[in-house]
Structure 1
Amino acid sequence: MAYSSDIEAIDALSESYKRIRQEIGQVIVGQDDVVKSVLISIFSNGHCLLVGVPGLAKTLLVNTLAQVLDLSYNRVQFTPDLMPSDILGSEILGEDRTFKFLKGPVFSNIVLADEINRTPPKTQAALLEAMQEKIVTVGGNTYPLPRPFFVLATQNPIEQEGTYPLPEAQLDRFMFNVMLSYPSFEEELRVVKNTTINKSVSLQKILNAEQIQYFQSLIRNIPVTDHVLEYAVSLAVKTRPGTAMATEEVNKYLSWGAGPRASQYLVLGAKCHAAISGKYSPDIEDVRAIAEPILRHRIVRNYKAEAEGISTEQIIRKLF
């Protein structure tokens, strides 16, 4: 990709982002913050967890995204009887009496892990290892996953019977935890209008795998001033109860705080948020814009917070 400077490349990224939003808008009505978070995750080379009730177009969003970004896409419906080999693939004995590796659905650019909390920890761990290492090891052989590699997992917050909630250490692998809410009345009217007629939308391909990888490395090259870096790190450090920088609310309402990965993602996310907004370096506003979905699943409230009805979001906003 031939750009004369990083500034020109950031302008190209900002322009591509607007075009991607426009294309997705033909299919997905509303959900602006969700689309933004998912795209920031992709350009920051992170993974995303979507939490919302059924029927809020989570699967449709991922499918649309894969088409617009010209990426391969697989959807895995997580069930209690799903085995690690159903995701990663397995070795089979071929006709020539040698073992051949049959690749599983994880070998694609975008993997939608639908209802990840419905499957046992062993299978969850297999996917989470692939997310972290970007490789799969089966039968002593290592297979690299295609790049870019992005996991979008969904969780249904209502039915908790027969589910296996993701442990905090594994939730930490996700860059964002995005909450989906119901559409507004006007948005739902548009959804029903568009989906109850014979209407087919042809989507344009805006970027490809090579361009996305280029932009992922561009994001890491964006300079950050010391005061923004310090602000991002202090935001994560303040969430740790019993430490020198912890606030009064944190000590009172949290039993666990965010780890160093939160600081890394706050800086990366702020860089990406600045770039798609057409800025060449992030400021404190960019850190605040992405702080909630990054910190939400990394801090654990205690019984006092739950008893008093203090939400995780309220605690995070107080830290600003």
Structure 2
Amino acid sequence: MEFKKYQHLERYGTDEVNGIEIGECTVFPKVDGTNGSIWIDNGVVKAGSRNRELTIEKDNAGFYSYILSNSKFKSYLEKHPTHRLHGEFLVPHTLKTYRDDAWRKFYVFDVVIDKGDDNVEYIPYDIYKELLEEFDLDYISPLCTIRNGSYENFIKSLENNNFLIKDGKGLGEGIVIKNYNFYNKYKRQTWAKIVSSEFKEKHHKAMGAPVIEVKEMIEQKIVDDYCTEAFIEKEYAKILNENEGWQSKFIPMLLGRVYSELVKEEIWNILKQFKNPKIDFKTLHTLVVGKVKKTKPVIFG
């Protein structure tokens, strides 16, 4: 494998991440160190900064030396040779209020499967967490999960962010919002960020990683009640029967059929049940696609 840059985090509210809040979001602390990545190539552990592959002579504030001096990183990569670990090597940068025992460690914030060229697959936190713990690797744990959130919900989680911060020393750099089912209009899987310096800091002590309850939108209720697993399986079975088997090229057909049949078959029942609600059909379509992916994960692998 060769060096690959980590994706650019987009500011929440910009065009690149429009709609990322629809569905389930995992909210992570944003750590202010130096960006790093590690991978294995022909048995040799390699490392990169944000923009380049590292060498022993130019090792990004001691990051590459740290990786090479800890055999647990090589052990992980030998077991998972297609994985690339992205994270933050905590050295003094803008924020100086981290705990004394937190410095000069590599905190993983994303694990991707490198499939060659520019094709990578992001592994969800709930899965990679256990993979990292097997080798005692440090990682950034989430502040909370939010379902169909809003700007105000994300600000609340930002105000509870004191990950690795000394008691009473304020907030972290910000938060990163990840929706593992979200792809923007350019078909890119992109994360959003909100930076603490843009807001008045408040001092709160984090209390684990709660799930924030948000008033459920009407589109989510429609999907929960009508776009059932049985409904999705019925449309999937139709495509199988029509084509004598499944091929990945049928994915757009499945997504389109589930959405169109839901609207055609159930719109009258929906209007009656929810008393002529105002429906955002773009949001409804996004949630339907997410439900299909959750119900049939194998065909999207």
Higher helix fraction (1 or 2): 1
| TM-score, length of structure 1 as denominator length | 0.32
| TM-score, length of structure 2 as denominator length | 0.33
Point out the structure with max Rg over C-alpha. 2
